[in-house]
A and B are shown apart, each in its own frame.
Chain A
Amino acid sequence: MALDLSEPLQKVIDGLAEDFSDALIDVYQSSGDTFVRIKPEANVEVCRYLKEEHHFIYLTDVIGADRFTSEERFEVIYNLVSLRDRERLFVKAWLEEESPEIASITEVWESANWFERQTYDMFGINFTNHPDLRRMYMPEDFEYYPLRKEFPLLGIPGSIELPSSTPDSEHEI
């Protein structure tokens, strides 16, 4: 499919193809947005390049996805916005199912801190060099990753503690 890119985004794609030809895997458009898939090893350099050279100063979100495929099952998606050019760019990286691991981009955008914690909490993706990689929503001793496809909708019975349902007045009787 031929790409229909705006002028600033065309510069971004040309720049990426020139400087990161090894890391760039795919460029495509869907629903009016532009997606770039890169090798996971190159995520920090690509992100720093996009921030410093193309003014993507605003990291809107970092999300994970479970593609549920036998290879490269997990996906990390960076949602970048350039406020100057009014452009949005999605950068994706695919990770293997066994110990999914990718470098943290907190050194590029501070705001990635909690986004990556959330992604770790929900998908179990390990962000190396993260300053404080702890669970965000689930209890710290929770053993599962709720947004993985194999996790049942209603959770694992008994995995999160409920308060005692014995009426307190019955203890004395």
Chain B
Amino acid sequence: MGLENSFGDSYLTTKIDTLVNWARSNAVWPMPMGLACCAIEMMAFAGPKYDSSRFGSEVFRFSPRQSDVMIVAGWVNYKMAHAIRRVWDQMPDPKWCIAMGACASTGGMHRCYGVVQGCDNFLPVDAYVSGCPPRPDALMHALLEIQDKIRTEHSVTLDS
């Protein structure tokens, strides 16, 4: 097929880390955790106009076991926090997390006793997106940041 035609009889050298990271970073399947109005923008992010499939992230998986990045889109109350953590714990490693919007990042305008003041209180967040709600481009920027992060990761060798 394509590769054989391009390379002919020659070959290509690379590091296994680079190859694995290249593959991983272009197939970051999101776990949509749509909790509020941010989820509407998250849908636009996956839709035809902004088209996250250009970056390999079009496959929204509603099963945590098939997804790589959790997009927390909206405000998190204490009751929901346990469900989110449970879904997060079911996602296979390696996994990443985007806190989308002011509410998921800091609690936002929901400054009250029932809302967790930022989902980083119980999740390891990799990228925070500002905005209320953020535009789909902003979420796309967060995705690109996560792709950059993946590409510089040591995936098969550990730092000793």
Contacts and interface: CB of A to CB of B under 8 A. Distances in A.
Chain A interface SS verdict (over half):
loop
B116 interface: yes
B114 A137 contact: yes
A153 B111 contact: yes
Contacts of A160: 78, 113
A154 B85 contact: no
A146 B113 CA distance: 8
B4 interface: no
B159 interface: no
Given A168-B89, A169-B93, A163 B114 contact: no
Interface in B107-131: 111-114, 116-117, 121-124
Contacts of B114: 137, 146, 155
A164 interface: yes
B124 A154 contact: no
Contacts, number: 39
Contact of A165 (B86, B111, B122): B122
B122 A162 contact: yes
A152 B116 CA distance: 15
B112 A162 contact: no
A151 B113 contact: yes
Interface in B57-94: 78, 81-82, 84-86, 89, 93
Contacts of B78: 160-162
A23 to B, nearest CB: 36
A152 B114 CA distance: 12
A162 B81 contact: yes
A162 B121 contact: yes
A165 B81 CA distance: 11
Nearest to B91: A168
B109 to A, nearest CB: 13
B103 to A, nearest CB: 15
Interface string A137-173: 1000000001000011111100011111101110000
A155 B121 contact: no
B78 to A, nearest CB: 5
Closest 6 CB pairs of A and B: A155-B113, A163-B85, A160-B78, A165-B122, A163-B122, A168-B89
Interface of B: 78, 81-82, 84-86, 89, 93, 111-114, 116-117, 121-124
10 contacts: A146-B113, A153-B113, A160-B78, A162-B78, A163-B81, A163-B84, A164-B85, A164-B122, A165-B122, A169-B93
